[in-house]
Structures are given as C-alpha cells and as structure tokens.
Structure 1
C-alpha cells in the first residue's frame, strides 16, 4: 500500500464526512438502508476516482441492495459532493460493500460463546 500525503488524507476525510451526510440526508432510494455507514474513502491522487467503502447493518442482502441503490444514485451523490467540497475535480464514485464491521461483530459473539463455555467448564471443576 502506498503512503498517502497529508493533503490526500485530509481530502479522504472531508469526502467521507460529506458522503456520510449526503447518503444519510439526501439519498431517497428505498434500497439504501437507513443503517448505512461510510467506513473509508480512498480518493485517487489525481482526484478522478474514489473508492467508497460502506457498511450496512443487517443481512448480506441488505448490503447488496444498498450498494445497488448507491451505484444507481452515484451521479446525484457526485453532484451534491461537487457543491459541498471544493475540489479541482469531483471524483467518480465507486461503492464497495465493507463487511469488516459485521465480521467483527460475528467474531465478538464467537469469543463470548467460547468464554461462556470456558466459564461453565471451570465452574464444574
């Protein structure tokens, strides 16, 4: 992974903040879950493209439908982003489902189960 400049990091954070707001307040596509979080934005150094990682609370189907809705609304979202962020170019947006939060929740539950079983086992001793 390439090291990013401070300027690029600042752009990523600003775009993430604005996209979160736009998705929460302005996107009306019924496929987009109300429980959608933008977890990471990677804007290319030339500002032409941006990978937008989104996490959706719910099942895999809710995540897939949300990404479809966001892809369908990408032009609208990009237009809103152009008005709210002062960049030379407004990047083309590519939405990617990020299941790392769901994975973390799943792992946490498994760890809790193992700890409970371990505690029960030690109580018997």
Structure 2
C-alpha cells in the first residue's frame, strides 16, 4: 500500500495515459483499443508501471512493442498535460492479463 501522494499520482497518470491512447490510437496503438487499467508508482516517484488492457486489433505483443518504442512521446504528452508535477516518472508498460485470468477461472468453475 502506497502513500496518499503515491495513490493520487497513480490515479492522475492512469487518467492521462488513457487520454493519450484515446487521442493517438492509430499512431500509438495500431488501431487497437488500449486502456490503462492499473498504474503503480515507486515510492521515490521515479518510475511508474502502467498495466494495459488491449482489445480488438493486432496481436497484443505487437501493440505493446509499438507502445514501448513510443514511450518517450507518451511521457512527453503526459508531462505537458500535468504541468503541476515537477517530475514525470519514467513509464514502463505491461499487458494486464487479469481479465484473461478471471475468464479462465470462470470457465473452470462452470465445469
């Protein structure tokens, strides 16, 4: 469990990263629908792990690779939106597979 400040920063970064993906879907997400589901910031606020749900489009790994290539641009866009923050954490992106995991559990429970 993080501090109150960490939690606020995580929420704000999650909202802004999702907005960046919505506005630049073709370029960054290769036409797929991408949302930031969870953001975890380190205690020193130097790094943020962003977990993404990727729907409808090219393979998830391909979309994630394109996002990794453009993470500097994404961080810059988030920084321009968050002028109040002195330092924007470095962003690391990961595929959030919790929905797939939940589906597998549901299938097993139905059997």
Question: TM-score if structure 2 supplies the norm length?
Answer: 0.84
| Consecutive unaligned residues in structure 1, runs of 5 or more | 115-125
2:18 equivalent in structure 1: 20
Say if 2:75 is the partner of 1:78: yes
- C-alpha RMSD of matched pairs (Å): 2.1
CA distance in 1, matches of 2:25, 2:72: 11
Q: Distance in 1 between matches of 2:41 and 2:30?
A: 22
Cα distance in structure 2, aligned partners of 1:111 and 1:12: 33
CA offset digits 1:81-116 (Å, max 9, x no partner)? 00112211111111011111112123223433x2xx
- Residue 48 of structure 1: which of 42, 46, 49 is its match? 46
Question: Equivalent residues in 2 for 1:81-120 (5 A)?
Answer: 81-85=78-82, 86-112=84-110, 114=111
Matched-pair contact (CA < 8 Å) for 1:71–1:95: yes
Query: Counterparts of 2:68 and 2:25 in 1: how far apart (Å)?
Result: 11
Specify the alignment match of 1:118 in structure 2.
none
**1:11-65, CA deviations, whole angstroms, 9 ceiling, x for partnerless residues?**
1001001101101212433654522221111122322211111122369x72211
Measured in 1, the distance between the counterparts of 2:28 and 2:75 equals 19
CA change 1:20–1:30 in 2 (3 A) is closer
Q: Which has the higher strand share?
A: 2
Aligned-residue offset at 1:68: 0.4
> For this pair of structures, how many residues does the alignment match?
110
Report the TM-score, using the length of structure 1 for normalisation: 0.76
Return the index of the structure with the highest Cα Rg: 1
